[in-house]
Amino acid sequence: MYDVVIIGAGSSGALAAIASGRLGLKTCLIEKGSRIGGVPINTLMGSFANLYFDDSGRVNASKIVGELIERIIKKGGTVFNSMEELMTVNDFYQITIPYQPEVYESVLTDMLIESK
């Protein structure tokens, strides 16, 4: 018996499962394909588009998305070396972050395993 069942392990489904697991809910994540991550993994093109940052340099998105980005950066999966470097890209606090899909999938997998 599960508290939460999530159909589809694309970006949204995987992140929902991580959040659910972190809340201590018994979670079942179902994916018809052989890999998690959805479009970035299946098309080999990944980016976080039109992200906004506040004055402290934090992503104005859910905490879990900010963590995902930080982990991808730490694993060398993007052109940026740190969250601070992202803030120097432009003055409008808006950015698109390209990333390597394989690193994205690896980070999602780690986060899912840790959320048990």
3-class secondary structure, 58: coil
Q: Percent helix, strand, coil in the chain (nearest 5)?
A: 40, 20, 35
Write the single-letter amino acid at 12: S
List, for the chain, all residue ranges whose pLDDT scores fall below the cut of 70.
50, 52-61, 87, 89-94
Contact between 94 and 42 (Cβ < 8 Å): no
Instruction: Domain of residue 38: give its range.
Output: 4-114
Chain centre to alpha carbon of residue 30: 18
* pLDDT attached to residue 91: 57
pLDDT tens string 59-86: 666 788 889 989 999 999 998 888 777 7
- pTM of the prediction? 0.84
Q: What is the pLDDT of residue 90?
A: 60
Angle at 99 between CA 92 and CA 68, to 5 degrees: 80
What is the domain count for the chain? 1
